[in-house]
Every structure is written in C-alpha cells, then in structure tokens.
Amino acid sequence: MGIVARIGLILLGIFIALGYKAYEQLSVTPRLPNNIEFFEYWGPEGGDPYGGSLEIVPFNVSYPPEVIERLRKQLHDAPSLTAPLEEAAFQYGFNSERLKEIVQYWRTDYLDRWDERQAYLNRFTHFKTKIQGLDIHFIRDKLESVRNPKRIVPLLLLHGWPGSVREFYDIIPMLSNRTSDKEYVFDVIVPSLPGYGWSEGSSKPGLSTSKVAVIMKNLMARLGYRSFYIQGGDWGAIIGNLMAILFEKDILGVHLNMCMGSGSPLTMGKMILTSLAPSYFIEKQHIDFYHPTWPKIVELILEGGYLHLQATKPDTIGTALQNNPVGLAAYILEKFSTWTNPANRNLQDGGLEQHYSLDALLDNVMIYYLTDSITTSQRLYAESFSADELGKAYENIPTNVPAACAKFRHELFQYPDWILKEHFTNLMQSNHYNDGGHFAAMQLPEVLYKDIVQFVNRLYVR
C-alpha cells in the first residue's frame, strides 16, 4: 500500500472517530439545572434582585398629542422610496408602491383616529409589575362574577416576533367569557415579552428564551398561580416548550401553534427518513404539510435572512429601524404578508388585507414605534442563538406535560407527529388546518380558540 493511501486511511479513521465522538456527545440528553435561578437580576446596574416591589400596578396606554404629531411629521417628511422593478410584487421585499399607500393611510386616516385606536388598545385591563429587575407589562382578562375557583382556568398567552399582545385581542374575550362549549372560563394573562412593547428590556447580556421562561413562571406565581396552561406561537411556542421542560410538574398543559421536535441527531435522522418515504410515517391527507422537503427548505432560506441578521447584529438593524417609522412598517408588515402565506409574495398588495385590517396591522407597528422596542425585541435572537444557550440544549429534553399542536397550512415549518412524540411524550392532540399561517391568533382566532378549548376540555376536572 502506498504512502498516500496509508495517510488517507489514517485521516479517514480519524474523521470517523471524531464523527462518532461528536455524535455521542450530541446524542446525550442534556440535564436540567439542579437549581434554577429564580432571582437572576436583569435590571439596571446597582439594582437589588431581592429588593424589588411585589406590587402590581394598573397601566394605561396613553401618549400625548405631540408624540402622535411627531410621528405624522415623520411620515410626511419620509424620503422618497425606490420604485419597484417592473411587474415585481413582494418578491424583492415590501413593494414600495404598496408601502406608500399604507404610509398615506397611517398618516391620515389612522392617526386622525388615534384616540379611537388608543381606546381600543385599552379595551382590556393592563398592568405592570417588577420581576427580576424588569418592569413586565401584561394584560389580564378575567370574569369577576365567577366565584367558584374550580371553574377558573389560568391561561398564559405568549406572543413572538414581530408580533405583540395585539395579536390576541380577538381571541381574549372568547377565552375569558362564558360560552356553551366549555364549563369554565379562562383567566387570561397576556404578557409583553421582556424587551417587547411595554415590558422593559434587559440591561445586561444573556436574557435568552430559557431565562424568559423563568420570568414568565415568576409572573404567574406573582398572580397566585403555581399551575397553569400555556398557549404560544413563534417565540411564545419556544418559551412555552421550555416552561413545560423546566417546570414539568407545574404546567397543566401546553398548546402550541408552532410545535418543534428536539434538535438531536436522532430527530434529524428521523426527518431524513420521513422525507424518503413520507407515506410510511404520515397520513396521506397530511403529507403536503411536511413534504416535499426541498421546496420547504428553500422557502425557509428565502424567509430566513432576518434571523441571521438579528441573531448576530441586532443592534445594527435596530439602529436602522428605530425612529424610522416607514422602515419599521416595511420590515414588520412584510412578515405578516409572506408568513401568512408565501404565495402572497406574488400579489401586488402582499395579500395583507385578505386576512387582517390595516388598523390591526398598524396597531402592532405602533406598539414597536411608541415603545422604541424594535432593538430590544431583536436581541432575543442573539441571546437565544448564543453558544452558551445552544450548549444547554434544553429543548432536547423530553417533557411529559400534556401537549397539543395546532398545525396551520402555511406555518414556517412543521414536524410530523411521530417525531414530535419523541419530545412531547404526552402529545394528546394534533390538528391540521388547511388555511392559516404563522400569526394564527390574529388571522384565525375562532379556529385557534376552538383548538385550545378542545384540548383543555380533555383535561378539565370540575
């Protein structure tokens, strides 16, 4: 055997050995922390994590006229936009002709009715409370006329990016009111995630999704609930999943509209196997939710540029968007177009008003604008994709919390149930819907509501 061949065999052996070692390490199920730090401090320097007030104070969305007039002037004085390419719709991003129409509506009709919109944002009761050094904002909607505690079911609703608590405005009263399809009412708690909307952002690095999960658990404890249900999408789904892992004994059930399996090599292998012979693993009528695989990967690449940017340089893109209402609107509303249905990319108007009103969409943009929270919201990506957070791999730990997955046709990605059951070992419900996308609570609140109630009805004990 020649020297080159021998060197090749040696290198191959080293490669196989290293690969096997890496597989061994990746295949080990990570361990939960022995002691979860419930008092980790995220507030300004010099604060005392044990000295914060336990007080819960009412909060009102209120901005003086000069703030709104400043925004109106910014929209009026915005620089001219580059014309779209001939016959281009949303394939290159937000179509500038459509953006001009929305900006015109925002500057005139919407802002002329700001008192009405502000009153609508205040239609539910808002609060703030200090947790781990941060002012945490939340909405709470509960029927005070219900006296029997057994008929009150606590439900934590968690939003994601680029959404806000505004996503849940249509579904909140369905959940909190008496209805014939349930023997209980929900005590609905809807927080703004730290760094989003009216919730304060961290003053130091490290506030990742697993840390936010602790803050949300502390919020529910502050409200008197050790055990409760969770519903979430986007970051809300990830945080809800982590809460079901970290606090398994306390979570009554977790309902997600973006369910994800673990990131273990076994899961990845199952995904590859499923793509080779989907009919063996997935019911025929649901195969196209998951396959063919390659077009769905291409779609993720087309839509994933924001993720890499926000996971690496959130402050840079934040600088470009903060105090820039036109850019902010384009950046946020583009997601409500293509994440609702990728086919909207081929529509001149982006298909936005097929599913949402402009008032609802601009309410959400206003929350980011008025609170200057676009940069702090995007930092969650950098913290959650950091080497330290990924090294914990908590999401690879199975959870036995009762789980439900609502799968909407145009969600960014989906995991088949046989793979999800590796992680959600007590997956009780998995429903597929032929419509809907990433923002289900805002797009199809009635459908999502019925899915939540169907799940809780399975578990509710009078």
> pLDDT 10s digit of each residue in the chain, 462 long?
565 455 445 545 544 544 444 444 455 567 777 778 888 999 998 777 666 678 999 999 999 999 999 999 999 999 899 999 999 999 999 999 999 999 999 999 999 999 999 999 999 999 999 999 999 999 999 998 888 888 999 999 999 999 999 999 999 999 999 999 999 999 999 999 999 999 999 999 999 999 999 999 999 999 999 999 999 999 999 999 999 999 999 999 999 999 988 777 777 777 777 777 777 778 888 888 888 888 888 888 889 999 999 999 999 999 999 999 999 999 999 999 999 999 999 999 999 999 999 999 999 999 999 999 999 999 999 999 999 898 888 989 999 999 999 999 999 989 999 899 999 999 999 999 999 999 999 999 999 999 999 999 999 877
- Residue 30 CA to residue 21 CA, distance in Å, equals 16
Give residue 287's pLDDT. 82
Give residue 47's pLDDT. 76
Q: Hey, what long-range contacts does 331-334 have (CB within 8 A, 24 or more apart)?
A: 331/94, 331/162, 331/306, 332/162, 332/364, 332/365, 332/368, 333/94, 333/102, 333/361, 333/365, 334/90, 334/93, 334/94
Give residue 129's pLDDT. 97
Give residue 49's pLDDT. 67
> What are the structure tokens assigned to 428, written together?
């009780």
Give residue 110's pLDDT. 98
Domains of the chain: 125-263+395-461 (3.40.50.1820)
Give residue 337's pLDDT. 97
* Cα angle 216-188-217, degrees, rounded to a multiple of 5: 15
- Residue 331 CA to residue 334 CA, distance in Å, equals 6
Give residue 368's pLDDT. 98
CA dihedral 263, 265, 269, 275 (to 10 degrees): 30
Give residue 19's pLDDT. 45
Strand order in the sheet with 185-191: 56-59, 125-131, 134-141, 185-191, 152-158, 228-232, 251-256, 403-408, 427-433
- Residue 459 CA to residue 206 CA, distance in Å, equals 36
Give residue 300's pLDDT. 87
Residues involved in catalysis: 234, 381, 438
Give residue 23's pLDDT. 47
